[in-house]
Structure 1
Amino acid sequence: MRKTHRTAAVLATLTAALSLTTLAGTSATAAPAKAAATVTCTAANTKVTVQEVQRPLNHLLLTAKNTGTKTCYAYNAPFLRFDDAQSSIRVIEDSAPQSVIALKPGESAYAGIGTSSAEGSEGYQADKLGVLFSNRAMDGGAGSVTYPKLPAGGVYVDSSAFVTYWQPNPADALVW
């Protein structure tokens, strides 16, 4: 009886090995799977614009429209710097969406920008906004900085300024 179990185990092992060999041979001759046609959204494949909104007060809407030919991912939140500030404005962590925003060609992602509040200090009139897309790990930028045109006369910015994560629609971006 013991010999029969051992023989069955050896046969099962040989069958599995033979199956793996066959599968390996099959996959080697099969056509390779086509790589996904997606890239990270950057200034090179999007058009970034800023617009003033009526509500909520002291907010701007940042729009990134995919102008490329491939789907791009708008990871995390954009890094924003007004004028020659030494660091990016803070990101509202609670604004993180359920998933990464994927933009097919022609589609847009949105981020809300809060420019000032009653709690803010050290305010100034900003004339320039630098936007840098985030890499997937959110530990650095992707591509180069782009400078969308601010509303005429610039915007008042103080220490309470913030930006949201990229959102799939403007209403979600302006909730914060």
Structure 2
Amino acid sequence: MRSNRIRTTVIAATALLAALSLTACNGDNGSTSDNGKAGASAPAANSSDKQSPSAAPEKDATATDADSGTNTGGSGTTKNTAPPATNGGKNTGGSADKAGNSSSGKTDTTCAGENTKITVTKVSRPVNHLLLTLTNSGSRTCYAHYAPKLRFDDAQAVFPILNDSQPQAVVTLNPGQSAYAAIGLTGEPGSGPAPRKGNHLQVNFAGKNPGSTSGTPSELTLPANTYWDDNGFVTYWQTEMADALQY
């Protein structure tokens, strides 16, 4: 009887151990399955959180459209505000106004007492000669037309002009440039009245038209011991001193 109870107890203990072992095995298999399900059922990432690789980057709001010359930033399209070019976009560099005008915007003029400085000097060669030097003291080009019109002291007539000395072109003087005229004081000895002593010389300036005068005359004091007669002459204005003194 006692032997049967022991056997029954052993059988029951064995069955209990088998049941516990089976339960432990089932528990391990369940953990593996749960992990697999969890990996498969993980929520998908929100598509709105990802940026499409094909989307073009947004243009900088302050970028300037180089082709159109406009600024595309801000709330509207604003044109380039650089100041417009003046005078039709042309470079107005320089100060010339119109064709034929000088840099000061005024036309060229005739050389006269208002815009020149004139001197008279005695020369050693040729003998009995004086030299007139006319310098443009103005700011514009001037023209020394023809020959100076001279009057010695209180003479009534204009001193004779030597027509053979006429240059090929009118003498043009830029500011600071000079022209020259020679004065032959006397003619051939014995060909006329005796020479007279001169103290004062008036220089009138010829105009553009033949026989005309222009501007204010210049008044000069003659060098000491200057003698002249009615057979002397004055040359046309020349660009070179040597050209004037060759007569």
Q: Give the TM bin, normalised by the shorter chain.
A: 0.7 to 0.9
Q: What code does the residue aligned with 2:143 have?
A: Y
Match for residue 167 of structure 2? Answer: 97
| Bigger CA radius of gyration | 2
Q: Tell me, in whole angstroms, the C-alpha distance in 1 between the residues paired with 2:143 and 2:220.
A: 20
Deviation, structure 1 residue 159: 1.5
Alignment match of 2:132 (pick from 48, 54, 62)? 62
String of CA shifts for 1:116-144, please: whole Å, max 9, x gaps.
Answer: 13134242101000001100113121111
1:133 and 2:205 aligned = yes
1:50 and 2:115 aligned = no
Deviates more, 1:95-104 or 1:119-128: 119-128
Structure with bigger strand share is 1
Q: What code does the residue aligned with 2:183 have?
A: I
Q: What code does the residue aligned with 1:64 have?
A: L
String of CA shifts for 1:27-65, please: whole Å, max 9, x gaps.
Answer: xxxxx8333331100000000100000000000000100
Q: Is the 8 A contact 1:122 1:159 kept in 2?
A: no
Deviation, structure 1 residue 149: 2.5
Structure 1 unaligned blocks of 5 or more: 1-31
Deviates more, 1:139-148 or 1:84-93: 139-148
Q: Is the 8 A contact 1:49 1:149 kept in 2?
A: no
Match for residue 222 of structure 2? Answer: 150
> So what's the TM-score if we normalise by structure 1?
0.78
1:168 and 2:239 aligned = yes
Structure 2 unaligned blocks of 5 or more: 1-96, 103-107
1:34 and 2:104 aligned = no
Question: After TM superposition, which residue ranges in structure 1, 4 or more long, deviate above 4 angstroms?
Answer: none
Q: Tell me, in whole angstroms, the C-alpha distance in 2 between the residues paired with 1:54 and 1:170.
A: 14
Q: Tell me, in whole angstroms, the C-alpha distance in 2 between the residues paired with 1:120 and 1:72.
A: 38
Deviation, structure 1 residue 69: 0.2
Q: Tell me, in whole angstroms, the C-alpha distance in 1 between the residues paired with 2:110 and 2:99.
A: 18
Q: Tell me, in whole angstroms, the C-alpha distance in 2 between the residues paired with 1:112 and 1:169.
A: 11
Percent of counterpart pairs with the same letter?
45
1:111 and 2:181 aligned = yes
Q: Tell me, in whole angstroms, the C-alpha distance in 1 between the residues paired with 2:101 and 2:220.
A: 30
Structure number with greater CO (CA < 8 Å, separation at least 6) is: 1
Aligned residues: 144
Deviates more, 1:87-96 or 1:116-125: 116-125
